[in-house]
Amino acid sequence: MHHVADREWTFLSNHGHVLVAIAQDPEARVVDIAERVGITDRAVQAILNDLEATGYVRRTREGRRNTYRVLRGGRLRHPQEKKVRVGGFLELFGA
């Protein structure tokens, strides 16, 4: 019988982990973010697209690379967390 303690889970979604990674290192490459979060490059790219489309991240092309800037004024999406601004959330991680 499996108990909850036996399963791996975290308090943050992969979207949250990617957002924190970008805030801590805006010049990180997709491959670096993927390694840090523990997901594939393709999954990171999909999450970055989501975050950009919903106004949490701004992507800027610099030569052949993209850099990402977190837009800290938005609020978290879940109804229970709507009072929390992205910037306040990121401060918990020193970002």
pTM: 0.87
Question: 3-state class of 61 per DSSP?
Answer: strand
The contacts of residue 27 (CB under 8 Å, 6+ apart) are: 65, 67
Confirm if 22 and 70 have CB atoms less than 8 A apart.
yes
Q: 11-91 is classed in which CATH architecture?
A: Orthogonal Bundle (1.10)
Q: Where are any strands of DSSP class E within 34-85?
A: 57-62, 65-70
Domain limits, the chain: 11-91
Structure tokens at 1: 């019988």
The contacts of residue 30 (CB under 8 Å, 6+ apart) are: 41, 44, 45, 48
Q: What is the pLDDT along the chain (95 residues), one digit of tens a residue?
A: 556 666 678 889 999 999 999 999 999 999 999 999 999 999 999 999 999 999 999 999 989 889 999 999 999 999 999 999 999 999 999 98
Q: Which amino acid is at 4?
A: V
